[in-house]
Amino acid sequence: MEKLLYIPDPLLRQKADKIKKVGSEEIAISNKMMQIMLNAPGVGLAANQIGILKQIVTILFIDQETKKENKYSLFNPKIVSYSKDKIVMEEGCLSLPKQYAEIERPKNIVVEYLDQNNKLINKEVSGVESRILQHEIDHLSGKLFIDYLSPLKRNIMIKKVQKILKNKKNEK
């Protein structure tokens, strides 16, 4: 549970299990995930990315309007509604280092999740927060942002990641 998994690790393609109740173990996992995400550095992380098949997501971003840092964990997050409006934004992923692509997603979503006190939260989000949550919640069902691309573009990115990882190994 200490390190990030990279494509083509099969755990990245597996569905994460629902959590029955948020307890000290789940909170410890989310704290560890937050640390890994900060060190990477990244704005979001799903538990499958560190080899844990539990529905846990951590996010951290700066709200561009308020300049306030938003940092929180979500347990069993699910998107309950999507806006009809779509927006194209660049995405990257800690499990695909140095790979970015323009991805179209709904502009706003309503997300439902448990917080660390087992309280059910229902929240409408937009902008960067919406983008991060859609990306991370996809991870929990084994879906990666490259799945929105053509097979050719997807394969090129996977090959680039494998080359980057091979070069990293050779440097050691």
pLDDT 10s digits, 126-159: 989 999 999 999 999 999 999 999 999 999 999 9
Distance CA 122, CA 79 (A): 10
pTM of the model: 0.94
Side-chain half-sphere CA neighbours of 169 within 13 A: 6
Main-chain dihedrals φ then ψ at residue 12, nearest 5 degrees: -70, -20
Active site residues: 136
Per-domain residue ranges of the chain? 10-171
For 88-113, give the DSSP string: EEEEEETTEEEEEEEEEEESEEEEEE
- The Cα–Cα gap between 162 and 21 comes to 37
- CA pair distance 31, 72, nearest whole angstrom: 10
The string of pLDDT tens digits covering residues 10-64 is: 999 999 999 999 999 999 999 999 999 999 999 999 999 999 999 999 999 988 7
Length of the chain in terms of residues written: 172
Q: Which of 20, 22, 10, 50 is nearest to 34 (CA)?
A: 50
Beta partners for 102? 90
- In Å, how far from its chain's centre is CA 46? 5
Q: The CATH number of 10-171 is which of 3.90.45.10, 1.20.1250.20, 3.40.50.150, 3.65.10.10?
A: 3.90.45.10
d(CA 129, CA 145): 16
Contact 105, 134 (CB under 8 A): yes
Please answer whether residues 131 and 79 qualify as being in contact, where contact means their C-beta atoms are separated by less than 8 angstroms.
no
